[in-house]
A = this chain, B = another copy of it.
């Protein structure tokens, strides 16, 4: 990484034997190499855009925070929008990287770890994350939409790869997408109100995924056939085990088990359940 030099003399004067990467120059705006300066501007912009909505961040703010001049920022980026979109792309890549998780252990525990990293990101990039996802931002564009879509796709693909079901149905894909939307909106609302501890949110989102998966399986026999091994891999103290415990507790509340049993019995009496379809009607079906 050659340092950016205004003239041979100044460059020689600025040359610094310090072992760290920052080459202390005579004039602040020439201290960093082209690549370093670009990276620094993006990092500073991301930091500012994380803390405030884009319309409240000016090129002057970014220049000041970077210890650079306004023209220098314009030398690297045509304008605030370009810098916003570039810093967003960085944030998107960073967020997508947080979705990666080894395929080891119970599925709900993997998702729990991923959600912990996701919620850390949400917390540290709060206002910018909110401004971006709330839409209608003055800085929203095809470019920012593409970044959001890319992150959603990464989340979707990661989840499907962990589920590792042979051929995910359109219904399952839809469930995954809807749950991702749920996670987005829930974390946005959490940012605004912070009404529950973050760990609680982390657990609830994972449990909602398990519930959504179960509901999808209830209408898709092929998925239902996979669900047994999903539950068999789960542990009592993991998110799924705790969900089962919570639901067991719920059914001990007076009135609930009775009412649900009445529905189940009436339903079974009227129509045979989908998963056990009339075996005596057409033996070869």
Q: Which residue of B lies closest to A183 (CB)?
A: B178
Shortest Cβ distance from A279 into chain B, in angstroms? 12
Interface residues as binary, A224-250 with B (CB distance below 8 Å gives 1, 0 otherwise):
110111111011110011111111111
| Interchain CB contact under 8 A, B231 and A256 | yes
Main secondary structure of the interface of A (DSSP, over half): helix
Which stretch (A3-11, A76-84, A185-193) binds chain B? A185-193
When the two chains form the complex, which single residue of B174, B217, B224, B254 contacts A228, counting CB atoms closer than 8 Å?
B254
| Interchain CB contact under 8 A, B186 and A170 | no
Question: Number of A interface residues, CB 8 Å?
Answer: 83
| Interchain CB contact under 8 A, B224 and A253 | yes
For residue A158, CB closer than 8 A to chain B, the reply is no
| Interchain CB contact under 8 A, B263 and A236 | yes
Q: Which residue of B lies closest to A208 (CB)?
A: B215
When the two chains form the complex, which single residue of B229, B254, B267 contacts A244, counting CB atoms closer than 8 Å?
B267
Contacts A178-B185, A196-B171 given; does A274 touch B256 at CB 8 Å: no
Which A positions have Cβ atoms within 8 angstroms of B?
134-136, 138, 140-146, 148, 170-171, 174, 177-182, 184-186, 189-190, 193, 195-196, 204, 207-208, 211-212, 214-215, 217-219, 221, 224-225, 227-232, 234-237, 240-250, 252-256, 258-260, 262-264, 266-268, 270-271, 273-276
